[in-house]
Amino acid sequence: DAKTTQPPSMDCAEGRAANLPCNHSTISGNEYVYWYRQIHSQGPQYIIHGLKNNETNEMASLIITEDRKSSTLILPHATLRDTAVYYCIVRGTTSGTYKYIFGTGTRLKVLA
């Protein structure tokens, strides 16, 4: 199963873009990269996912490098409510089971 590596913590000024990096150097060619966030021990919230191309939705943008060994989640205009733990996940498949392998994530603190 592919693993991910993220910095343990980051700070970002309110209104600025937050760029959260993730390394997944052992990713397989058909494995998706997923991003979730977890606010204060609530259930993880889905943000975005991608395979090869860059993706954008109403919450964020996902930039995946051409070799797919790393990606960056971009929150374009961070607000205080974006303070959370952000998880980058490469979904592993074992005998047909699509399971998520979580790391310890990046604790993002948005500063006023």
Partner 1 sequence: ETGVTQSPTHLIKTRGQQVTLRCSSQSGHNTVSWYQQALGQGPQFIFQYYREEENGRGNFPPRFSGLQFPNYSSELNVNALELDDSALYLCASSLRAGGRKETQYFGPGTRLLVL
Residue numbers of the site for partner 1 (CB under 8 A)? Answer: 30, 32, 34, 36, 41-46, 49, 87, 91, 93-105
Q: At 101, list the tokens.
A: 């392998």
3-state secondary structure of 17: coil
- Least distance (Å) between residue 81 CB and partner 1: 15
Q: Which is closer to partner 1, CB of 41 or CB of 112?
A: 41
- How many Å separate Cα 109 from the centre of its chain? 15
- Least distance (Å) between residue 37 CB and partner 1: 11
- Least distance (Å) between residue 30 CB and partner 1: 6
- Least distance (Å) between residue 112 CB and partner 1: 25
Within 1-112, strands assigned E span 9-13, 18-23, 33-38, 45-50, 55-56, 61-64, 70-75, 84-90, 92-94, 97-99, 106-111
Q: Which is closer to partner 1, CB of 34 or CB of 82?
A: 34
Q: Which is closer to partner 1, CB of 98 or CB of 112?
A: 98
- For the CA atoms of 25, 88, 73, 42, what is the dihedral angle to 10 degrees? -170
